[in-house]
Each structure stands twice: as structure tokens, then as C-alpha cells.
Amino acid sequence: MKKRKIASAKGKLGVLIPGFCGAISTTLIGGVEVVNAGEGKPIGSLTQMGRIRLGKRNDKRNPLIKDFVPLVGLEDLVFGGWDIFDENLYESAKKAAVLDPTQIERLRSRLDARHPMTAVFDRKFVKNLTGPHIKNGKNKYDLAMQLIDDIEKFKEDNGLDRAVMIWCASTEIYIKECEVHSTLAKFEKGMKDNHPAIAPSMLYVYAALKCGVPFINGAPNLGVAIPAMVELAKKQGVPIAGSDYKTGQTLMKTILAPGLKSRALGIRGWFSTNILGNRDGEVLDDPASFKTKEVSKLSVLESILQPGIYPDLYKDLYHKVTINYYPPRGDNKEGWDNVDIFGWLGYPMQIKMDFLCRDSILAAPLALDLVLFMDLAKRAGLSGIQEWLSFYFKSPVHAKEVYAENDLFVQLEKFENNLRHLMGETLITHLGVEYYK
């Protein structure tokens, strides 16, 4: 197999973050500082800690992923972004209260000077949030142009050739895909006409792609998934990926559901509930924002279990997901699952799961990996939807003619084979017959 031509990872990489002062962003930026200072390990990050098997099982080739594919080093990341609050990162990290206060104090000198750029924000799209650090514009097109100016200035000020944008801002209200999203021409006209179905998140995607900057969508907003943005990404030769980081409860679901299906066990009901007390929880307390999240969370079981072709096992599955805003827990979410399953002759059984997790501790390494892989994708000349990264998302963006692949194990195989393919290594089929000849 031929190795793909990949441009060098040398030089600094800009990481542009809408939601710069939020919990994930500050945990990511603070965390990278901690890792670079040798004071902590990047646990949860496949690019930093993971290995990949190459060749046969007995070849004993298992390099670290970061030694196998050419990724930018953590010391070469330059962070910047936008937020509706004009706080420095030290203040924001204290408010987010994810990292330990003593750790935040140790980081103070490195976080103090970093402020966000003014955001594109419209309260119609995030009802439970308001902030003063917001751009004014003639229309939505004008706002997108201001974001483009910001990106160019950020690159120039920091002497950057390359950048990646990653959405770590709030989840917006549920929007149904409609005519204005269907082509780039209609979308551009819609921005000038202030079309109500064009959300701020879409303006960030548009600005990034116009600047040749790959875009990652960490929230369930439509963002990169609309045909107009897929068209723009292709036209500009820029990779896009999304949507909605697969971190806690949904990660567990996409581990457990394929396992049950692999044994032909039936599922009658899956009840999931959460308590969460951070700002994300507050935003999701608004039913319109929660609807966006709910659609993303509910979609995974259907595509994994395929009730259409397994009616006896999954046709009657009742799937319910709720999130309850509960301030005392802060970022330390608790997710409960009750799964009603059935086995031989239909006899019922139950599985109970209680995951006491930390939302941003789970999300920050995903955000880091996605930034590094999307920069790799751009340097390798890949453009449009990067389905091989669906491993990281609850609601993977995918080609219209196929269903989304949500099974974590299929996603992992796809992801690893894509890395092998990029580097000209033999793909691993797990056939195994070669050992018994």
C-alpha cells in the first residue's frame, strides 16, 4: 500500500475555540500546560497515550500513535478563541471548577493574560445565557466577515501558517435542516437576509472554512452537518468533523449495546438520566437546547441495534434520556442507566449502571485528539466529512446515503485502519487464517 503524501507538522498550530472561557476549553488549555510542564499525564488522549498494532500479531509492532503518524507536538499549540464573557482564562478556570484550585493557582501566570475575542452570539439560540462580550453587525454575513478578520489577525499576530477551529461553546436550540441550509448560494444569501434558521454556530463554521481552517463540532448543533457547509468544505479543500463529543453516558451506551447485540440478547427498554450542575447543565435546562442534545443522544441505539432487521430483539425498545440541572454537582456529572433486557425464550433481566464521571475531564482529551487529527487530515489533503473520526462523536456526521456508524468497536476499527491507510501500512482484517496454514 502506498503512503499518502503528508505535509510536515513543523511549526505552530493555532487552536481557535468558540467557548474559550468554558469548562472544556479551560480544562483543555490548562491541561496542555500541565502536561507540557511535566506535571501530569494526558490520560484519555489516544494521540498521546494510545498505540496501534501494525502487521501480524507476532510482528510485535505496536508504536505509539503519535510516533506512527506525524502530529504536531503539544508544545506547538497556540490557543485563542471567542466568548460572550470577557474573563481571562485564570478566572474562567476558577469558575468552571474542574481543575483543582491549587493546580489553577500554579497555572495562574500562564492563564492570566489570555482573553477571548468578542463572540457572535444571539440569545434566541441559547435562552439560558446572556453575556456582554458580543459583536454587532449589519447582518449575519457581516458578523461572519468579522470572524474571518479575527482568524486572520490571530494567525498573523502569532505567526501561524495553520489553525484548526473546535466548537466548545454552548448547545444551541434545536433547528431543523431547511431550504436555506441546502446549498452554499442559498446559505450566503440567507446570511445577508438575516435568515432565522442560521445560527451563530453556523457563522463560525462558515468563517473557518472560508479561511481554510478545519472545523470540529463538539456540540450537537447542526453546524457542519448541513449540505451548504459540506459543499463549502469540499470547495475549499478543508476537513470537517462532528458532532457532539461522545464522553460519558453515551460512550458507555455505545460500548454496552454492541456487546448485547453481539450475543443476540433483546432489549425492551433503556432509561438514562443524569444530574449535572455546570453551565452546560444550566443551558441544557432550557427545553429547546435540550431537544438538540436529546436528538443526538437518542440516535445512537437505533443505528447500533437496527430494529428494522432485528424486529424480535429491538422492535419495541423504549429509549428515554433526561438531563437534570443540579448545581451542587458542578462538572461532576452522575449518569444512571437502567436497561431492561431479555434472553432465552424472552425471560427478562436488568442491568443498572451508575457512572460518577467528570464531564470536562472526559471531554478535554477528545478535543485535543480531534485538533491534532484534523490538522493531520488537512496536511494529508483530506477534505469534507472525516467519518473515520466518528469514534469521538455521539452523532457522527455522515454521507446522506448511509446510516451513521455508532458502534464504538466498528468506529475504532475504521479509525485505526484509516491511520494505517494514510501511512501505507497493511489494513488489519482480523481474518486470522494466516496463523493456521
Provide the sign of the torsion angle of the four alpha carbons 302, 126, 386, 365, taken in this order. negative
Query: Which 66-85 positions form the footprint of ligand NAD (CB under 6 A)?
Result: 82-85
Q: Is 280 an interacting residue with respect to ligand NAD (CB under 6 A)?
A: yes
- In the block, residue with C-alpha cell 508504536: 63
β-pairing, 318-325 vs 266-276, is: parallel
Say if residues 18 and 79 touch (Cβ distance below 8 Å).
Answer: no
Interface region with ligand NAD, contact rule CB under 6 A, candidates 58-66, 116-124, 140-148, 403-411:
116-124
Taking the complex as a whole, how short is the minimal distance between the CB of residue 133 and ligand NAD, in angstroms? 9
Q: How many residues sit in the footprint of ligand NAD (CB under 6 A)?
A: 36
Toward ligand NAD, which CB reaches closer, 76 or 91? 91
Toward ligand NAD, which CB reaches closer, 77 or 380? 77
Cis peptide bond upstream of 243, omega within 30: yes
Interface region with ligand NAD, contact rule CB under 6 A, candidates 6-14, 273-281, 311-319, 371-379:
273-281
Among positions 13, 14, 16, 22, the unique one binding ligand NAD when judged by CB under 6 A: 22
**Grid cell listed for 166:** 473546535
Toward ligand NAD, which CB reaches closer, 248 or 384? 248
Toward ligand NAD, which CB reaches closer, 13 or 84? 84
Interface region with ligand NAD, contact rule CB under 6 A, candidates 29-37, 114-122, 251-259, 424-432:
114-122
Among positions 362, 376, 382, 397, the unique one binding ligand NAD when judged by CB under 6 A: 362
Toward ligand NAD, which CB reaches closer, 83 or 407? 83
Kindly give, in sequence order, each residue whose CB lies less than 8 Å from that of residue 109, ignoring residues fewer than 6 positions away: none
Q: Is 277 an interacting residue with respect to ligand NAD (CB under 6 A)?
A: no
DSSP 109-126: HHHTT--PEEBP--TTT-
Among positions 29, 145, 363, 385, the unique one binding ligand NAD when judged by CB under 6 A: 363
Taking the complex as a whole, how short is the minimal distance between the CB of residue 433 and ligand NAD, in angstroms? 41
406: how many CB neighbours lie within 10 A of its CB? 26
- In the block, residue with C-alpha cell 428494522: 308
Query: Which 133-162 positions form the footprint of ligand NAD (CB under 6 A)?
Result: none
Q: Which helix (H) or strand (E) holds 254?
A: helix 249-262
x/- track of binding to ligand NAD for residues 225-264 (CB under 6 A):
-------------------xx-xx----------------
**Grid cell listed for 11:** 511549526
What's the rounded Cα separation, in Å, for the pair 180 and 147? 21
Query: In the complex, which residue's CB is closest to ligand NAD?
Result: 22
Among positions 13, 15, 16, 24, the unique one binding ligand NAD when judged by CB under 6 A: 24
Q: For 91-198, where are the E strands, in sequence order?
A: 117-118, 162-167
Say if residues 405 and 414 touch (Cβ distance below 8 Å).
Answer: yes
**φ, ψ (nearest 5 deg) of residue 13:** -120, 125
Say if residues 45 and 65 touch (Cβ distance below 8 Å).
Answer: no
Among positions 14, 42, 44, 218, the unique one binding ligand NAD when judged by CB under 6 A: 218
Say if residues 126 and 283 touch (Cβ distance below 8 Å).
Answer: yes
Taking the complex as a whole, how short is the minimal distance between the CB of residue 127 and ligand NAD, in angstroms? 12
Q: Is 390 an interacting residue with respect to ligand NAD (CB under 6 A)?
A: no
Angle between helices 101-111 and 23-36 (to 10 degrees): 80
Q: Is 368 an interacting residue with respect to ligand NAD (CB under 6 A)?
A: no
Q: Is 166 an interacting residue with respect to ligand NAD (CB under 6 A)?
A: no
Q: Is 359 an interacting residue with respect to ligand NAD (CB under 6 A)?
A: yes
End-to-end Cα separation, the chain, in angstroms:
24
What's the rounded Cα separation, in Å, for the pair 42 and 36? 10
Binding site for ligand NAD (CB under 6 A): 18-19, 21-24, 82-85, 96, 119-121, 126, 129, 131, 168-171, 200, 218-219, 244-245, 247-248, 278-280, 283, 359-360, 362-363
